């Protein structure tokens, strides 16, 4: 019997990362999962027999420790990230912008760099970056997050160019509104404000996004899915949504 393929997922303690973990486990992958909240991470990982490891993608030392002893990685899902605040540039909170950049951009670079030899050994390896429609379309109040996710899009495209000829596939998955802890984190625990983001419409679920990731990584090895943009039917752009009165 063939050894199972290995998938590494950052930010797997909730939302999209957790859903991708379950979905890849169902495809027969062996999972290595990382996040900071170990209790939540274990709750995701234990039922699917995953290797759950503490990971703070903003820390070099944590990334080095996390990646230790990963000799082969067929798939890396750079999912850890999110938004903080919805302030105008005039009112920008530097600490929020810094954290968004550190997590969504620097974290992605750090983990990818550390796992590149393991991905190449997999022959082919596959890097899946979780971007966003916020990385394609700016919106008022979004500048800090927009800048971070535009960076994810740019980095994904450069990966594709720099690794051309090497056995590493590269995909960006760019969702619109997905109901997860995303808005609760963005609005710093204000659950009423977070709930309003999804009220009166049917958002994507984390499972919807996980299906897209799963599809991209299970294509034949000569096929590279460059990007997938998916939005709820009720969302035409970052700022245009159709809400029913509730």
Site membership for ligand NAP, residue 35 (CB under 6 A): yes
Task: State how far Cα 243 lies from the chain centre.
Answer: 26
Point out which span in 51-59, 118-126, 211-219, 221-229 binds ligand NAP (CB under 6 A).
51-59
Among 58, 98, 121, 224, contact with ligand NAP (rule: CB under 6 A):
58
Q: Determine contact, residues 31/7, Cβ cutoff 8 Å.
A: yes
Q: Please, what is the minimum distance in Å from the beta carbon of residue 160 to ligand NAP?
A: 19
Residues 124 to 143: which contact ligand NAP by CB under 6 A?
A: 130, 132
- Rounded Cα distance between 51 and 36, Å, is 14
- Which residues within the stretch 141-180 sit at the binding site for ligand NAP (CB under 6 A)? 175, 177-178, 180
CA angle 72, 73, 74 (to 5 degrees): 120
Q: Residue 75's closest CA among 4, 177, 158? A: 4
Q: 156-161: which pairs have CB atoms within 8 A and are 24 or more residues apart?
A: 156/129, 156/131, 156/227, 159/112, 159/127, 159/129, 160/224, 160/226
- Give the interface size with ligand NAP as a residue count (CB under 6 A): 32
Residue span binding ligand NAP (CB under 6 A) among the ranges 1-9, 34-42, 117-125, 216-224: 34-42
Residues that bind ligand NAP (CB under 6 A): 10-17, 35-37, 40, 55-58, 79-82, 103-104, 130, 132, 175, 177-178, 180-182, 185, 206
């Amino acid at each position: 019997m063939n050894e199972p393929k290995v998938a590494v997922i950052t930010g797997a303690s909730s939302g999209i990362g957790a859903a991708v973990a379950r979905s890849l486990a169902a495809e027969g992958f062996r999972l290595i999962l990382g996040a900071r909240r170990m209790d939540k991470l274990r709750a995701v990982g234990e039922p699917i027999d995953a290797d759950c490891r503490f990971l703070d993608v903003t820390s070099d030392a944590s990334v080095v420790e996390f990646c230790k002893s990963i000799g082969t990685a067929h798939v890396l899902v750079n999912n850890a990230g999110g938004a903080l605040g919805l302030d105008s540039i005039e009112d920008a909170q530097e600490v929020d912008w810094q954290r968004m950049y550190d997590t969504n951009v620097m974290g992605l670079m750090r983990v990818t760099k550390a796992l590149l030899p393991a991905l190449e050994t997999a022959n082919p390896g596959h890097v899946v970056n979780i971007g966003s429609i916020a990385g394609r379309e700016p919106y008022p109040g979004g500048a800090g997050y927009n800048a971070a996710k535009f960076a994810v899009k740019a980095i994904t495209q450069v990966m594709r160019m720099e690794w051309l000829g090497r056995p590493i596939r590269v995909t960006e998955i760019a969702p619109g509104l997905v109901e997860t802890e995303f808005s609760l984190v963005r609005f710093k625990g204000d659950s009423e404000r977070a709930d309003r983001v999804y009220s009166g419409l049917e958002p994507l679920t984390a499972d919807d996004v996980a299906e897209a990731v799963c599809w991209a990584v299970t294509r034949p090895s000569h096929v590279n899915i460059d990007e997938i943009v998916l939005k709820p039917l009720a969302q035409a752009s970052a700022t245009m949504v159709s809400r029913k009165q509730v």
